[in-house]
Amino acid sequence: MTSNDSRTLRFGRRSYLKGCVVGLGSTLSVAGVAGAAQSGEQNEQQYGTVVDVVEAGADNEGNESVTPVLREHVDDDTLLKFPAGRYYMDEQLRLTGFENVGFVGEDATLVPATYHEFDGPQYRLFRMGTSDSPGRELRFEGFDIDQTASDTGIRVLEAQIEDGLVVRNVFIRGVHDSGTWGPGLFNITNPDGRGLVERFCAVDGGAHVDDTPNAGNMWRGPTGIGVDHNHRGTLVFDGCVLGGFPDNGLYASSETGRIDVDGGRYQNSGTASIRLGGATGTIKDATIVVDENPHDSSGQHAIRLDHGDQFTLEGVSIDIPQPNGDAIRIMNSVGTTSIAGSEISVADGSNNAILVDPEAGATAVQDVDIEINGSANAVQIRGQDAGAVDLEDVRITGDADGSTMRHAILCERNGCRFDGLSVEQLGSNKRRGLDLRGDDATVVNSEFKTTHTPIVVNGADDVTIENCYADSVEDVSSLTIIDDSGSVSRANNEFPDGVRDNR
């Protein structure tokens, strides 16, 4: 997880491909679409008409725009094949209301015109479907996009599809520095529809709009991959890779539908490298890194969950050597969240590993390793009655000090449970372990070793602490009960530094 990873992937198709395979799991099967790679012959059998675009007159040496040839031959039940070569495009190809259309490259490179030379809307190469007239069954795969020239960078594909979307092996080289819309936008418009976006990679990220020829006409700049309010169905993003974009990395802003992120690597985007909304969603086996701030962003969360009924994070690896936002932030409009089998590392700074906002719903954190080295909370739980938060088998280490946030865990919620915690916080400035402010809290089977007080009951009532070990390196007390606290039940604990009860 080094800051040089994205730079080493910039040149050479082979090395670029390798970078986009990072974090891949097994190939997914998506109902209604092909889940496994198919041979060219199998692809062709799905279409009534197959067009070799070079045989049809397209220039594959990059001298003349191929859009007129594509426009002439694209149609329902048609596959457009791109043999090896470079294909220059200086205007968008737009098709709506279609059925069963494919674009397949074989070592094919698309070369967009510069911002100044692009004819017509300067935003897209391919606009396939609209929200009012979506398509069905779209395949788009096997393309390099060469935007290494100055003032290039464009939305490669915007797809509004009812059902049957397959986007695979799209590798974008060069910084998106034109200031126009980001590389991809994908929506499944039918609630029963499904789509797969596999290995859609833009490692080099994008420039802030102020540093582009489109300065003043856009907020911040491009998002890497977008899903907007027209999404209704299910989208799977498998093994995608995004560098730093000034707005967001992968951003699903829909109120409905499902988003599943499987594997891949997301790095250094503004606001969040993965930002999800929608009815439900998952993030599984993905790697998220924040190791630089290329756009002077005021915040860079690794993962931000905006709104939705239910989200599941599993096998996620988050590394934040240059904190500029929380590792995981769960916003007020989220229903329930589960975080399991994951690891989070946050370097010196004032940002939390997990922040649960005051009105966010019930949250479960299980089998998670957190290394926190700045004066912040490993887990911060705000609010009182929005829903219980349970931490089970959570391990917290690191050199965080207590100068800003005293405690590794701050809990304001009622009804929370902490089972199997292992908290080792030996930083300076009175670093502590667990601050309980919510009623009906349970702490069991846990171990604490902290510089200052390991456990503080801070105004909470009906607290149960059982089978716990708590050691203060400075020998102040193992447990402190603040004077306005209520009942605290204790059993089978080992508190070598005693209990300070101020009630």
DSSP 184-217: EEEEE-STT-EEEEEEEEETT-B--GGGSTTTTS
The mean predicted confidence, pLDDT, of the chain is 92
Mean pLDDT of 349-359: 96
Question: What residues pair up with 236 in beta bridges, in sequence order?
Answer: 196, 260
Task: Tell me: pLDDT of 456 over 50.
Answer: yes
pLDDT attached to residue 1: 33
Shortest CA distance to 263 belongs to which of 234, 240, 236, 282?
240
Cα(8)–Cα(16) distance, integer angstroms: 9
Tokens 């809307």 sit on residue = 121
Mean pLDDT of 200-220: 94
pLDDT attached to residue 39: 52
pLDDT attached to residue 260: 98
28-32, 148-152, 189-193, range with the lowest pLDDT: 28-32
Task: Tell me: pLDDT of 12 over 60.
Answer: no
Give the residue with greater pLDDT, 24 vs 231.
Answer: 231
pLDDT attached to residue 40: 62
Q: How confident is the model at residue 121 (pLDDT cuts 50, 70, 90)?
A: confident
Task: Tell me: pLDDT of 4 over 80.
Answer: no
From the number of C-beta atoms within 10 Å of its C-beta (0-12, 13-18, 19+), residue 483 rates as exposed
Mean pLDDT of 396-425: 97
Structure-token pair, residue 438: 């919510």
* % of the chain at pLDDT higher than 70: 92
One-letter amino acid for residue 497 of the chain: D
Shortest CA distance to 240 belongs to which of 19, 31, 4, 36?
19
pLDDT in tens, 142-169: 999 999 999 999 999 999 999 999 999 9
15-19, 211-215, 243-247, range with the lowest pLDDT: 15-19
Cα(341)–Cα(7) distance, integer angstroms: 29
Mean pLDDT of 289-309: 96
